[in-house]
Amino acid sequence: MDDRGTIERRLLLRAAAAAAALPLAGCDKLSSSDWFRSLLASAEGANLRVQRLLAGRQALAPEYTEAEISPRFRSNGTSEPDDPAYQALARENFASWRLAVDGLVERPTSFSLAELAAMPSRTQITRHDCVEGWSCIGKWTGVRLSALLDTVGLKPNARYIVFHCADSLGGGFEAPASYYESIDLVDAFREQTILAYAMNGAALPIPYGAPLRLRVENQLGYKMAKYVMRVEVVDDLTRIAGGGGGYWEDRGYAWYAGI
Amino acid sequence: MSQDHVDAAAPRRSIYRHALAVRLTHWLNVLSLTLLLMSGLQIFNAHPALYWGDKSDFEHPLLAMTAADAPDGTGIGVTTVLGHEITTTGVLGLSFSANGRPVERGFPSWATIPSYQDLATGRLWHFFFAWLLVLNGAAYLAYALASRHLGRDLLPTRHDLAHIGRSIRDHLRLRFPKGKEAEHYNVLQKLAYLLVIFVLLPLIVLAGLAMSPQIDAGFPVLLDVFGGRQSARTVHFIAAWTLVAFVLVHLVMVLVSGVWNNLRSMITGRYVVEEEEASDGR
Ligand code: HEM
Ligand code: HEM
């Protein structure tokens, strides 16, 4: 090929690359503009309403057999909180750990692990779907969240249940922030919504959220807060942390994670 | 060669080929499918591996894209398909950012929305345009049924099916019909469109919904249909690339059968038909 041809070919290639890059750069620009993000996010409300309408408010997630339990369940997010207070609790096997339940409740109370274990419980073998795309199957035993909420009594204006956790994520570019999550009353009162203290028949191990983690089987993994220290009942999420209703929600993820 | 027949004096007439509803839904569909594919690849990149069954068997993915170190210390991209490793440096597993830095990612940045790694934003795009795809598809179907477009223009006639062999031969020679016959889709075109409209698109939507833990709670039968959530993810991925394959063939056919005439017909509705010549070799 002569030089002219090569140069022309290179120019042509470069022009093609530029033409392709233009709409891509446009998409990146739209991705970081507030108005466009809120337009895109309007689909979340549709997902929540239509999926609940279609699937029903009492629908149970499929349950699996012992044989289907994942031999190696992946642990994502924090696998060991570095908070010294948490580590002190962990060293004595959470003997003095207590779960605080407060906010818009009639009788704010705190519970030890033994007290939680004495309440109505549920055991279920369910599939855990991570927002990244993978799934693992595990067996969980825990206190039904509905039983816990009935014990403390919800005030009439209660709307969301917030789970405050012992672990923090971030660091690097971002200041570390405490993990938290929230669900509404529809999901809080589902039969399979539990605060689990056991996994695959043994005490909940630290990488999976010891001593207590949430299981909301109709949503993705990031909703299922690990290392839960406090349950707070609120009427409004915008006053907590970034206002999105959860650690990942404050960083752009959907609050409704049913898909 | 078919070009032999092109005669500047050949009589032509213009017909109204595509109704406004078809043109509008077609282009909205092109827009949403493009954005769904590219935001889907962004989602895929968050865990660039596919499995079969209910759960992920991390040691045995059907497909995985990873970065590895070559013996000389440079990074290479490796794609593993059913246990076979293929080096895909620059495109899959490891590709280069705008300033030439190697980055570990499944699909390269020019194939994803956004171009940088951002799962949350990819999901925002994906679910918004999934709704557009579904609503647009419903509008198209309602129109196609009500106007009898489906029965009249898309369902092959008995005559069509009887002459499918001829249509295949004509396609292979890139010989396209003229006159009366050119007013309608040919039989291969009809079958391809029906396959996309009634098989591929419903399949990709259902596989997408089967990945939703909430929908699985309401409709566990979806999991039986696909053989588990991870299978549904794999089917979703294969269906996406099958759509890409359809679009490539579709675009080639648009190009070789008169690009401006085709594009005009899908934009303004008007299509020029060349009259049949008596001397046609057939
Ligand atoms: C109603 C329509 C659709 C729905 C509800 C839907 C839903 C989803 C969901 C939930 C995921 C996340 C999977 C994960 O957790 O990793 C996903 C991923 C993906 N989607 Fe879609 N989707 C739809 C249409 C499409 C279309 C039309 C395309 C392509 C043309 C597409 C391409 C992809 C790709 C490539 C991925 C990456 C992961 C995978 O391959 O499964 N999607 N989609
Ligand atoms: C830039 C991309 C595209 C271009 C330029 C294009 C162009 C066209 C043209 C010109 C026609 C009319 C064909 C004729 O009159 O014989 C057509 C019809 C059609 N195209 Fe496309 N197309 C594109 C992408 C797509 C995609 C992504 C899909 C769906 C996966 C699609 C599905 C169809 C269908 C189903 C029809 C028949 C519509 C009907 O009559 O109801 N096209 N396209």
Q: Pick out chain B residues at pLDDT < 70.
A: 1-9, 277-282
Q: Choosing among A28, A30, A31, which should be mutated to test the B contact, i.e. which has the most B CBs within 10 A?
A: A31
The pLDDT of residue A48 is 97
Mutation to probe ligand 1, out of B33, B42, B43 (largest number of atoms < 8 A from CB): B43
A40 vs B contacts (CB less than 8 Å) = 124-125, 127-128
Instruction: Assign residue B28 the CATH number of its domain.
Output: 1.20.950.20
Q: Is residue B42 part of a domain?
A: yes
Q: Touching check for A19 and chain B: CB below 8 Å?
A: no
Residue with tokens 């695959």: A200
For the CA of B134, the closest atom of ligand 1 is 1
Sign for the pseudo-dihedral over CA of A150, A154, A160, A165: negative
The pLDDT of residue A24 is 85
Q: Give the SS3 label for residue B243.
A: helix
Distance from C-alpha of A124 to C-alpha of A114, rounded to nearest angstrom:
20
Distance from C-alpha of A96 to C-alpha of B242, rounded to nearest angstrom:
57
- Looking at the structure, do residues B188 and B210 belong to the same domain, yes or no? yes
Q: Which of A118-122, A127-131, B167-171 has the lowest mean pLDDT?
A: B167-171
CATH of domain A61-251: 3.90.420.10
Q: How confident is the model at residue A25 (pLDDT cuts 50, 70, 90)?
A: confident
Q: Is residue B226 part of a domain?
A: yes
Q: Is residue B133 part of a domain?
A: yes
- Looking at the structure, do residues B47 and B68 belong to the same domain, yes or no? no
Average pLDDT (A82-90) is: 96
Distance from C-alpha of A121 to C-alpha of A141, rounded to nearest angstrom:
7
Distance from C-alpha of A121 to C-alpha of B139, rounded to nearest angstrom:
48
pTM over the 0.95 mark: no
- Looking at the structure, do residues B215 and B78 belong to the same domain, yes or no? no
Mutation to probe ligand 2, out of B28, B153, B260, B266 (largest number of atoms < 8 A from CB): B266
**Do the chains contact at B124 and A130, CB–CB below 8 Å?**
no
- Looking at the structure, do residues B241 and B162 belong to the same domain, yes or no? yes
Ligand 2 centre from B247 Cα, in Å?
Answer: 8
- Looking at the structure, do residues B153 and B253 belong to the same domain, yes or no? yes
Average pLDDT (A117-131) is: 98
- Domain's final residue, options B65, B89, B106: B106
| Number of domains into which chain B is organized | 2
- Looking at the structure, do residues B11 and B98 belong to the same domain, yes or no? no
How big is the CA angle at A82 (ends A71 and A230), to the nearest 5 degrees?
A: 85
The pLDDT of residue B9 is 58
Tokens of B35: 């954005």
Tell me the ipTM for this assembly: 0.92
The pLDDT of residue A11 is 76
Instruction: Check whether A107 has a pLDDT greater than 80.
Output: yes
- Looking at the structure, do residues B71 and B148 belong to the same domain, yes or no? no
Ligand 1 pocket, residue B49 CB under 6 Å:
no
Q: Give the SS3 label for residue B51.
A: coil
Q: Touching check for A159 and chain B: CB below 8 Å?
A: no
- Structural domain spans, chain A: 1-56, 61-251
One-letter amino acid for residue B198 of the chain: F
- Looking at the structure, do residues B239 and B180 belong to the same domain, yes or no? yes
- Looking at the structure, do residues B74 and B211 belong to the same domain, yes or no? no
Distances, alpha carbon B200 to alpha carbons A176, B131, B140, in Å: 45, 17, 15
- Among all bound ligands, the one having the nearest atom to the CA of B24 is 2
Percent of chain A past pLDDT 70, that is, above it, reads 97
Helices (H), B3-118: 20-46
Distance from C-alpha of A9 to C-alpha of A78, rounded to nearest angstrom:
51
Q: Is residue B131 part of a domain?
A: yes
**Beta bridge partner(s), residue B270:** B16
- Looking at the structure, do residues B234 and B123 belong to the same domain, yes or no? yes
The pLDDT of residue A116 is 98
Taking CB atoms and an 8 Å cut-off, how many pairs form between chains A and B?
A: 139
Helices and strands counted in chain B (H then E): 11, 8
The pLDDT of residue A23 is 82
- Looking at the structure, do residues B20 and B84 belong to the same domain, yes or no? no
Q: Touching check for A224 and chain B: CB below 8 Å?
A: no
Residue with tokens 């704010």: A108
The pLDDT of residue B157 is 95
- Looking at the structure, do residues B233 and B185 belong to the same domain, yes or no? yes
Range of the domain at B191: 3-52+112-274
Q: Choosing among A27, A58, A223, which should be mutated to test the B contact, i.e. which has the most B CBs within 10 A?
A: A27
Q: Is residue B280 part of a domain?
A: no
DSSP 8-state code for residue A141: E
- Tens-digit pLDDT profile for residues A144-199: 999 999 999 999 999 999 999 999 998 667 788 999 999 999 999 999 999 999 99
Q: Which residues are CB-neighbours of B121 under 8 A, at least 6 positions away?
A: A31, A37, A252, B42, B113, B114
- Domain's final residue, options B90, B106, B122: B106
